Amino acid sequence: MKTKLSLNQLTLLSKKIVFRRAFSLSLSIMLLASILNNDLLSANVTTNNDLPPTGLTYENYPPLKDVYKDYFSFGIFGKGEMEGLLYNYASYTPGNEMKPENTQREKGTFTYTSADNAMKNYSDRNRDMLFYGHTLAWHSQTPTWMWDAPPARYDQPGEFDRETALENLNTHIENVLGYYGSRIEGIDVVNEAIGDSNPDDWKASLAKGEGWYMALGWEWVELAFLKAAEVVDSNGWDVKLIYNDFGLDSPDKARVVYEMVKDINEKYRGVRPNGKPLIEVIGMQGHYSLFTKAQEVEDSIKLFAKLPGVKVHVTEMDIALPPGELTAEKENNQGMKYAELFQIYRNYAAGPANTTGNSKVIESVKLAGVRDVRTGWKGGEFAMPYDYDGKAKEALLGILYPKEFLATHEYMDTNTEEQVQIDGVYVYDTGKGDRWSGANIILGSDASQWPWSTAGEDGKIAFIPEKDATYRLTFNYTAKGTTSIRVRWINDNSNGGYTSADGVDVNTYQYSANEVAKHIPAYFNSGMVNMGSYTLTTEIKLDGSQPTDGLIGNIAIRGGGGGNAFSINWIKVEKIGTNEDPDTLLVNWPKGIDDEEPPVDDKDPVEEEPPVDDEDPVEEKPPVDDKDPIDEKPPVDSDNSVDGEAPIDSEDPVDREDPIDNKDPMNMEDSIDSEDPDDGEKLPDTATYTFNSLVFGMMLLLVGLLLIFTKRKLKQ
């Protein structure tokens, strides 16, 4: 049957057909453009190495914890600016709040308020925040009555009595770990037990002149872990038991820790349920600089990976720069160093994103802050990925995109000045490219006779001291972030070989900048502010009867808390005359004995700038011996603590080797064994946003033109 259509009906039907075809064509164009756009964008993201710009605030970058969630947990050690902390970090480890001086200052009185408040502050804002503990047993920031050091207190003998000390150790661990065990993922059971590293004898390498060793000997390390394991296992908690130490990129020290953990775990195999080793984790404190060799860090990780059942946590990480101005060269080189290290961390990560075939041992990485700080731990050393104002530096990009950063950057040369040479006087300055700041004044070249110390490789000494003579040490320095200074006894020309007796008294004698110290070790920890210059004086009569490893040796000048943000301007040493004899000038650095003596030119100190945006900076005085990077606490007791001591747990975050080798960071062998498998890792859309917008705009333009054309056809 045939259907007859009128002219109007035929016209209407034609319009509908044209419209439907136009609509279908429009959808086809949109779909094609979308597919093409997506393919082009994907190709662009995976084939170029464009990085987002620096200088933006944290919310303009992906959270560190999200970028690394499939590699390892990304956390913070100590405090930092709250919003940036919550945005970037998945875990929190208190810097000071859980240390023995804060949890049991007086025997039998346990106080947990500080740590509880810190944990609550973060858990209230982020219910998924994980927590770790730091620390149960350490020689520093611990009341000395715990190991029964004299004088006698709390009805104890005061004679380093073994039974008393062991009871104190066990009681402290039972109470603190018993209180926090159900809320934490892991805890630093023992912190920094190693003294001078002897790879052939880990027991002989333990620090002997301080802390628990004085009462318990070399066994104190395993005794602490045995008690911690008893508490954890009896409660059924899955809390990782950690040994934490600095300088583990040093091959010798890494070997010592490896042998210690290996021996202890073998000795106590089967003691814990489910085959758990007694020591489950090695915490590698990451106090690094531009001179840190990435290859040595990787070698240590490989070594620790050989220990059955043992994992690695990178703790307290920072990369310090020379103080002064944050130049483009410094910022670039810091980004390079962060990128090198995080590429290694990815290649040994415990998470599923690591497909390299390497050992999967790194479970956690923790930075020692959020932003750079002007004073306190690493004050003035630009160690964090964000600057003073919370703006991203090259360091953040190096952490977020290590492979891409290394592909698009290289080390930039920085001009350094050569040190003025005065026999037996060695002055170092990170602002001039050295690995640390401070000075060594060499008094002995034979460790077998008084003053029981040795010289450097050149064998030169500053002067030959006389027994029972009185000497005056005077030096001028400028604070560039480090506002406290120590004068110490050291065995050699290193950056950490202090005498055992010095270690015991390191916090005992405290002075302000305008006082004359009468002892060594001396701790000048008040009366100084950032960017001020100060002349500090110590007068001491040498004790000719001091034994080896006692209060004698070479003289060391160091930043309080291991800080390196300062410069020494001049040094003088004089023998003080007797019976109206004149004083004798023995050392005059940098001018020399025959030149004009340097002026005492103390600059008017510059007031410190206020804290930046709730950064929670540390107070003026930095920590004792690189104790943890954050809050400063009052002294534990008069014989072994200092007001204002802050964080970070390492005496000198540089290896205990002869200092500076004048290497340029560009020439370091920072090779990485394995490639990151994520060749197609996507960068932020900042590099392709313009292209994306252009394609989408063209797509809309085509559709619009098509509809206009269709409408006109329909009208005809």
**Which residues participate in catalysis according to the annotation?**
192, 316
- Nearest one of 586, 350, 552 to 472, comparing CA atoms: 586
Cβ count within 10 A of residue 170:
17
Rounded Cα distance between 654 and 296, Å, is: 13
Query: Residues 6 or more apart from 456 whose CB is under 8 A from it?
Result: 426, 440, 442, 492, 493, 658
Do 146 and 167 contact (CB within 8 A), yes or no?
A: no
Look-up of token digits 């037990």 = 193
Structure tokens at 355: 């497909």
Q: 282 — phi, psi (to 5°)? A: -105, 120
Rounded Cα distance between 211 and 192, Å, is: 11
Query: Residues 6 or more apart from 407 whose CB is under 8 A from it?
Result: 49
Structure tokens at 614: 């709730």
3-state secondary structure 549-583: CCCCCEEEEEEHHHCCCEEEEEEEEEECCCCCCCC
Look-up of token digits 């703790």 = 315
Q: 707 — phi, psi (to 5°)? A: -65, -40
Do 555 and 489 contact (CB within 8 A), yes or no?
A: yes
Q: How would you label 186-206 residue by residue, b for 16+ Cβ within 10 Å and e otherwise? A: bbbbbbbbbbbbbeeebeebb
Do 342 and 587 contact (CB within 8 A), yes or no?
A: no
Structure tokens at 694: 């252009």
E strand or H helix at 187: strand 186-191
Rounded Cα distance between 672 and 666, Å, is: 15
Query: Residues 6 or more apart from 65 whose CB is under 8 A from it?
Result: 73, 74, 75, 88, 89, 90
Cβ count within 10 A of residue 505:
21
Bridge partner residues of 511 (DSSP): 524
Sheet bearing 533-541, strands edge to edge: 516-517, 533-541, 470-479, 566-575, 584-589
- Nearest one of 507, 478, 497, 375 to 440, comparing CA atoms: 497
